[in-house]
Amino acid sequence: MVTNAAPLPTDSRPLLGVFWMLVTGFCFVAVTATVKHLGDDMPAAQSAFLRYLLGLVFLLPMIPALRAARLSPGDFRMFGLRGIVHALGVILWFYAMTQIPLAEVTAMNYLSPVYITIAAALFLGERLAMRRILAVGAALLGALIILRPGFRELSPGHIAMLVTAVLFAGSYMLAKVMSATSNAAVVVGMLSITVTIALAPFAWWVWVPPTLEQLGWLFLVALFATGGHYAMTLAFAAAPITVTQPVTFLQLVWAVLIGAMFFGEPADVWVILGGSVIIGAVCFISWREAMLKRATARAAAGARVG
């Protein structure tokens, strides 16, 4: 998983930032590997629902912030819309995990920040300089290298991952809009609640009795996902995005190794090459965003001094 640039920390600790980003990568790869291990014995929609339902226990520390939030009807509509969009993305992601290799899922997951950049220009009026346009083009080229349409048959899992990246990008864009009026705890907490509610009817439609072992694995998925997001927050707080973002490349390396060692998935040089191109483009986009934020902060500070 990849995120947008975070505000630059005032007290940079690069080694600590790299460490927490390594933990982040381990947690997110553990999420994908655990879901891969579960396979398709349980329908994707039900797996996704149970993962979020079991993960609600991690919302307990957020209850005071959620109770104190003063949300308008418009806020609830936005949270509800994000929950539906994210839920559809989660279902397709769980489905893709049962259809295509772990490394391909991991590599194609990096497309979300690229779609976010495009959506920010189309819907939020953010300016796209030529260098960022070239980076977006490079990332899309990386996706074509992975998919190689015309040279191999594309499975439904590949299509699912392409749509997943678009849906997750839409979810993150809605989060960006909502973060202007709600704090992070409320945004994260409401996402978990609304996604669980949105997934419920899909899960009911395909419900099969889960085993205790399956519930245990899905709770582990929720634990790794929560740990990954927490570690990522610590990484962004410790070091600049220019230090932490390149470390995300290791997620693809680990995915290739785990896929080969535990799931018998041969390493695909085209997936590694395409994923590297996408990650390079995402790192450049993140670096440009960090530089622009720094320049804006300096300009604002200069204006206050003047």
Q: In 3D, which of 155, 154, 42 has the Cα closest to residue 91?
A: 42
Dihedral Cα 111, 106, 78, 126, nearest 10 deg: -20
Q: What is the token pair recorded at 105? A: 């899922």
DSSP letter, residue 62: G
Residues 6+ positions from 219 with CB-CB distance below 8 Å:
54
Digit-coded pLDDT (tens) for 276-294? 888 888 778 777 776 766 6
Q: Write down the pTM of the prediction.
A: 0.80
d(C-alpha 200, C-alpha 227), whole Å: 24
pLDDT band with cut points at 50, 70 and 90 for residue 299:
low
**Helix/strand number for the chain, H first, E second:** 13, 0
Digit-coded pLDDT (tens) for 4-40? 444 444 456 778 888 888 898 889 889 988 998 988 8
Digit-coded pLDDT (tens) for 174-193? 887 887 778 877 888 898 99
pLDDT at 241: 62
pLDDT at 195: 95
pLDDT greater at residue 179 or residue 202? 202
d(C-alpha 137, C-alpha 78), whole Å: 31
Report whether pLDDT(74) > 60.
yes
DSSP labels for 138-180? HHHHHHHHHH-BTTBPPPHHHHHHHHHHHHHHHHHHHHHHHTT
d(C-alpha 138, C-alpha 142), whole Å: 6
pLDDT at 50: 95
pLDDT at 219: 94
Report whether pLDDT(43) > 90.
yes
State how far Cα 280 lies from the chain centre.
17
pLDDT greater at residue 298 or residue 301? 298
CA angle 55, 177, 26 (to 5 degrees): 40
Q: What is the token pair recorded at 210? A: 């889960």
Weakest-pLDDT range from 21-30, 111-120, 291-300: 291-300
Give the end-to-end CA distance of the chain in Å, rounded to a whole number: 42
d(C-alpha 285, C-alpha 280), whole Å: 9
Per-residue pLDDT, averaged over 153-171, amounts to 90
pLDDT at 198: 97
What's the mean per-residue pLDDT of the chain?
Answer: 83
Q: Are 109 and 1 in contact (CB under 8 A)?
A: yes
pLDDT band with cut points at 50, 70 and 90 for residue 245:
low
Per-residue pLDDT, averaged over 194-222, amounts to 95
Report whether pLDDT(232) > 90.
no
Per-residue pLDDT, averaged over 109-136, amounts to 79
Report whether pLDDT(54) > 50.
yes
d(C-alpha 204, C-alpha 289), whole Å: 42
Interior/surface letters 52-68, b for 16+ CB within 10 angstroms, e for the rest: bbbbeebbeebeebeee
Most confident of the following: 22-31, 209-218, 226-235: 209-218
Report whether pLDDT(149) > 90.
no
DSSP letter, residue 209: P
pLDDT at 10: 47
